[in-house]
A = this chain, B = another copy of it.
Amino acid sequence: MSRRVPAVTVIGGGVIGLAIAWRLARRDVRVTLLERHTPGAGASGAAAGMLSPLKEAGEPGPFLDLGLRSLARYPEFVREIEACAEMEVGYRRDGRLDVAFGADAADGLRRQKELQETVGYTGRLLVPAELRRLEPGLAEDARLGLATEHDHQIDNERLVRALWLAAEREGVDIRSGAGAAGVETDGPGGPVTGVRLDSGEAAATETVVVAAGAWAGALDLPRPLPVRPVRGQIVVLRLVPPALQRVTWGPGCYLVPRADGRLLVGATVEEAGFVVATTAEATRRLLECAIRVVPALAGAEIQGFQVGLRPATPDGLPVIGADPATPGLHFATGHFRNGVLLAPETAELVAAEILDGQAPDPAFTPARFG
C-alpha cells in the first residue's frame, strides 16, 4: 500500500459508501474506498430496490423529509450514474400497489392514503374488480388496494455495479478485500490520523467517512456507535404468468418483479447478530405470503435467496454527519432498510459537510449517542 495521504478515506463499499466516494470524486477530491469483501457484498446486495419513503417512515418528521428529498434526487442521480457508468440501473417509476385482505388491513390502507396526502402524494383506492383488472394474478379475496404512482424502484444490484464503475472512472481508488478495523487519532480528542486495517497495517488519512453499514458498530472508533445488524432475507422466484406487473405489498411481504423475469419476495426483519443464513421459518413465511397474494406463485420455481444485515440504530434514524469530538471523522450509516433510497441525499449531505461546512439535520448527528 502506498504511503500517500488520500484526501478522504471511505470505509465501506455499499451504496452509501460508493455514492459518497463518487460524489466527492466528482468534486475533485482524491478518495480511497476500503471494502472488506467486494462492493455490494452487504445489505446493498440483498435488497429489493424500492424507493418508497412513506412505507418506511410512518409519520412526518426529519426521516420522512430525508426520504422524500432523496427520492426527488433520484432522476438526476440515475441520469448521472448511467451516463458515467454507461449502463442502465433498472430505474422504473411505475408506482406501488398495496393489497389488503382483512378489514383491519383495509382500514390501514385508508389511513395510509391520508398520510400520503399530507405530503402531496395521491393514491387511488381500488375495489376488488379494479384490483384484478390492474393485476389479474392477485388472489380473488383481496379486499382493497391502494395504487400509488409516486414511488419508484431501481435494480439495486445494477446500481451497485454502476456506482462502482462510475466511482472508478472518477478516480476513486476502490480497495476490495481491505477491511477496516478502526480509526486512529492523534490521542484522545485529537484529529483523525489514519485507518487501521484488518491486516494490522495503517493507512494514513485526515478525513474518514464511516459508511460500514451494520459493521459500523464493530469498528474500533473514537466514538463507538450503537449500530447493530438486523437480518433481512429475500426469496427470489421465477415469475410465472399471470405475471405481476408492479411492486406489490401484501400482508407480511412485498413482491418486486424485475425486468429479467425474477420476482423478489421480501423481507424478514430479524435480530440474529452477524449470522448470514437463509433459514427455514423465514423462507416458509415469505413463501406463504407470496402465494397468499398471487396464488399462481405456488408453482413458481425458487431461483435463489438473498440475505443481508441492515444497520439499525436505537432511535431508528440514520447517522449522518461529522463527529464534533473528533476532527475529520464523519458518519454515514444506520440507514436500516433505506440505504438504497437514501444514498443520493446522504452523499450530497456528506459532501456538503466535508467540502462546504454545511452540517446535516442535527436529528442525524452521531453526537446524539452518549
Contacts and interface: CB of A to CB of B under 8 A. Distances in A.
A288 interface: yes
A297 B279 CA distance: 9
A279 B305 contact: no
Total identical chains = 2
A183 interface: no
A298 interface: yes
B302 A291 contact: no
A280 B283 CA distance: 9
A300 interface: yes
Interface string A248-270: 00000000000000000000000
A192 interface: no
Interface string A285-312: 0011011000001111110010000000
A104 interface: no
A302 B307 CA distance: 12
B287 A237 contact: no
A129 interface: no
On chain A, which size bracket covers the interface?
Answer: 20 to 34
Interface in A36-84: none
A281 B291 contact: yes
Contacts of A278: 301-302
A284 interface: yes
A277 interface: yes
A277 B301 CA distance: 6
B297 A290 contact: no
A302 B281 contact: no
A120 to B, nearest CB: 38
A280 B305 contact: no
A104 B87 CA distance: 61
A298 B287 CA distance: 14
21 contacts: A237-B280, A277-B301, A278-B301, A279-B299, A279-B300, A279-B302, A280-B291, A280-B297, A280-B300, A280-B302, A281-B291, A281-B297, A281-B299, A283-B284, A283-B287, A283-B302, A284-B284, A284-B287, A284-B291, A288-B288, A302-B305
Interface of A: 235, 237, 277-281, 283-284, 287-288, 290-291, 297-302, 305
Which 3 A-B pairs rank lowest in CB-CB distance, beginning with the nearest? A281-B298, A284-B287, A277-B301
